[in-house]
A = this chain, B = another copy of it.
Amino acid sequence: MRDVAIVGIGQTPVREHWDKGVRDLAVEAVLDAMADAHIERADALYVGNMLSGKLSGQEHLGALIADYAGLEGIEAVKVEAACGSAAATLRQAVLAVQSGAVNIAIAVGVEKLTEMTSGCTTNALAMASDGDYEAEMGLSFVAINALLMQRYMYEYGVDKDDFAAFTINAHANAAHNPNAMFRNRITREQYANAKMIASPINLLDSSPIADGAAAVVIMPADMAFDFSDKPLRVAACEVATDTIALDNRANPLWLRGVECSARKAYRKAGITPEQVRVFEVHDAFSIMAALSLEASGFAEPGTAVRLANEGEITREGRIPIATFGGLKGRGHPVGATGIYQVVEAALQLRGEAPEALQVDDVEYAMAQNIGGSGATVVTTILERLERK
């Protein structure tokens, strides 16, 4: 199996892009990544997206984006795994390059939620859960996370207000990220007074849905230095699943999909969690950040909120998370998020993060993208590629 490297990255700002459609955003990110990699053609295009069919009346994004990005004729396909779509797309691109069938592959994640032509976002996002046994019963996606958060507080005796640390860190970082949706800092007081959405989840526990696209160009590692001065080795990109419905899990507070995906990734990369210096976590809700830290091996069960309150998730801490703002601060353009995370991990390793965000001595950076309430998990570990 050949080694794979990231040689180009691209992203659009995360915003309500009222003047751009799904194809415009995806093409922008693709061309940005291609320019960064100094390429004009590729062999295959993988497009990650969840909701274009439901909300924009457009499927078949593989051929569409290939066509509009000037990549006519190229192999192209769409990959979907709910909110984990983007990283699942990267995984397919990595496998294609590893197989030897494809040399240069582009993986782009895109989501367009502003200006829906049909449906509503709450219904649409519920399609990540079990349609017959969760959504149909009226359990929205935020409600699923509220059940988890309530249970966490009960089981571990954690105060609701202590979850503020995740939001404060995310917004503090997003303030320095020009592509972030939210640039405002949040105080404990603001968090405590935030509007309740689905008790105990309030507005400031919740990441904003948004429009955006992010892309990476990958190729065999032995070609990488011809295209980039700072290529990054994909040390691991590993997928695992769990039951789709929460009620089928023996312990809903233990994200088995996260554990399995992270373990596979550590084994593949040949590292331990202690060697991870940046963790782009899937903080769709604060509770997801806490549960992911625990199941990924960064905190014992029930201790992630304390870890956050001890400052260990900030740039100076033991395991900096959401270093560009995370889903909460940068925003959560659903089917694009996983590749935003990878692009941000790449910027950290390339030493190209804004000064206030750059983490020191990053040897391994990890990004974890989750679909549903932990049903699909993709963990990616990057390191700098060494010149041979």
The interface residues of chain B lying within 8 Å CB-to-CB of A126 are 57
CB atoms of A60 and B372 under 8 A apart: yes
Does A88 reach chain B (CB closer than 8 Å)?
yes
Given A58-B131, A79-B77, A128-B59: A67 and B376 within 8 A (CB)?
no
CB atoms of A57 and B95 under 8 A apart: no
**Interfacial residues of chain A within 49-106, with CB under 8 A of chain B in the complex:** 50-51, 53-54, 56-64, 66-67, 72-82, 88, 91-92, 95-96, 98-102
Nearest to A97 among chain B residues (CB) is: B99
Does A311 reach chain B (CB closer than 8 Å)?
no
Nearest to A135 among chain B residues (CB) is: B57
Interface of A is mostly: mixed
**Size class of the A contact interface (CB-based, 8 Å):** 35 or more
Binds B, one of A151-159, A238-246, A270-278, A280-288: A238-246
Does A40 reach chain B (CB closer than 8 Å)?
no
The interface residues of chain B lying within 8 Å CB-to-CB of A256 are 73
Does A16 reach chain B (CB closer than 8 Å)?
no
Given A78-B81, A81-B77, A98-B101: A62 and B241 within 8 A (CB)?
yes
Does A132 reach chain B (CB closer than 8 Å)?
yes
Does A248 reach chain B (CB closer than 8 Å)?
yes
The interface residues of chain B lying within 8 Å CB-to-CB of A124 are 53
**Interfacial residues of chain A within 177-223, with CB under 8 A of chain B in the complex:** none
Q: Give the complex CA separation of A285 and B375 in angstroms.
A: 39
CB proximity of A109 to chain B, nearest CB, Å: 13
Nearest to A75 among chain B residues (CB) is: B239
Q: Give the complex CA separation of A226 and B126 in angstroms.
A: 42
Partner of A95, one of B73, B81, B92: B92
Nearest to A61 among chain B residues (CB) is: B80
CB proximity of A27 to chain B, nearest CB, Å: 13
CB proximity of A63 to chain B, nearest CB, Å: 4
Given A1-B101, A67-B248, A375-B63: A240 and B73 within 8 A (CB)?
yes
Q: Give the complex CA separation of A355 and B127 in angstroms.
A: 44
CB atoms of B241 and A127 under 8 A apart: no
Nearest to A65 among chain B residues (CB) is: B244
CB atoms of B72 and A241 under 8 A apart: yes
Contact with B along A341-377 (1 / 0, CB 8 A): 0000000000000000000000000000001100110
CB atoms of B260 and A73 under 8 A apart: yes
CB atoms of A244 and B60 under 8 A apart: yes
Does A121 reach chain B (CB closer than 8 Å)?
no
Q: Give the complex CA separation of A131 and B67 in angstroms.
A: 14
Q: Give the complex CA separation of A257 and B51 in angstroms.
A: 26
Interface core residue of A21, A99, A257 (most chain B CB under 10 Å): A99
The interface residues of chain B lying within 8 Å CB-to-CB of A72 are 241-243
Q: Give the complex CA separation of A155 and B70 in angstroms.
A: 30
Partner of A60, one of B73, B119, B371: B371
A-B residue pairs in contact (CB < 8 Å), sample of 26: A1-B100, A1-B101, A23-B132, A53-B124, A53-B127, A54-B59, A57-B126, A57-B136, A58-B131, A58-B132, A60-B82, A60-B371, A72-B241, A72-B243, A75-B239, A76-B239, A77-B80, A77-B88, A79-B79, A92-B95, A95-B95, A95-B96, A95-B99, A98-B100, A98-B101, A99-B99
Using A67-B375, A77-B80 as known contacts, list a sample of 8 further A-B pairs with CB atoms less than 8 Å apart, ordered by residue number in A: A54-B54, A59-B128, A60-B127, A60-B128, A60-B244, A77-B81, A95-B95, A98-B99
